[in-house]
Amino acid sequence: MTRKNETLFADEPLGSNRVQLGEGAVLLRGFLARERGALVEAVREISAEAPFRNMITPGGHRMSVAMTNCGKAGWVTDRTGYRYDRCDPLTRKPWPPMPRVFLHLASSAAARAGFASFVPDVCLINRYQPGTRLSLHQDRDEHDYRQPIVSVSLGLAATFLFGGRERSQRPRRIRLESGDVAVWGGLTRLNFHGIAPLEDGFDPLLGNYRINLTFRKAL
């Protein structure tokens, strides 16, 4: 890892940049400092090897959000169910390895949020365009719920829906800007969450797209 990559993350005191979303849930506003471009370039390299695709849910619904993965496994969905697979079903090859800068980002953000020693083994990469959304859901396909979720926002701003342990609980609406990182674990690890329909706009790095990196310990 070069010193350039080490400048990706803000090292100033958080103060008002830290937003408590719940017990064990924190939003780190502006956690990414100057080098967001390095993360976007890494995503481009990953998607050149494992292209973005709109997966099909077990119920036959085509997801509006395009996805790919990197790491030791990737999250996939089809008519047989939700799962992690060590190989990309599209290319039948192992998923691209997780870049070191991704690992450093995830572990640094988790530590700042109070989860020391977090080492993710998968990264889900979601690509949004205006009008796409992610319905309320829980992340339940991992083996160890003691490990947090680290979610990184790049590109267009989005409205994050962060609810409770029951789908019926009204979610809190939080605006996410490019460079924000949300971390949740502990008592909020299985809280329902999602993304409201993305509004149109323009981002200097990604145009009218939003990229979300979600780091997990899945295996």
By the 8 A CB rule, do 8 and 105 touch? yes
Q: Exposed/middle/buried for 60, CB within 10 Å: 0-12, 13-18, 19+?
A: exposed
User: Model confidence at 3, in pLDDT bands (50, 70, 90)?
Assistant: very low
Q: What is the mean pLDDT of residues 44-69?
A: 97
Instruction: Render pLDDT for 108-125 as a digit per residue (tens, 0 to 9).
Output: 999 999 999 999 999 999
pLDDT surpasses 70 at 5:
no
Q: What is the SS3 assignment for 83? A: strand
pLDDT surpasses 70 at 25:
yes
By the 8 A CB rule, do 191 and 165 touch? yes
Rounded to whole angstroms, the Cα distance separating 159 from 162 reads 10
- Tokens standing for 133? 């959304």
Q: Phi/psi zone of residue 15: left (φ > 0), alpha (ψ -120 to 50 degrees), beta?
A: left
Q: What is the SS3 assignment for 169? A: coil
Lowest mean pLDDT among 11-25, 44-58, 116-130: 11-25
What secondary structure letter does DSSP report for 29?
A: T
pLDDT surpasses 90 at 215:
yes
Q: What is the mean pLDDT of residues 16-40?
A: 92
**pLDDT the model gives residue 35:** 79
* Domains of the chain (ranges, CATH numbers): 19-216 (2.60.120.590)
By the 8 A CB rule, do 157 and 201 touch? yes
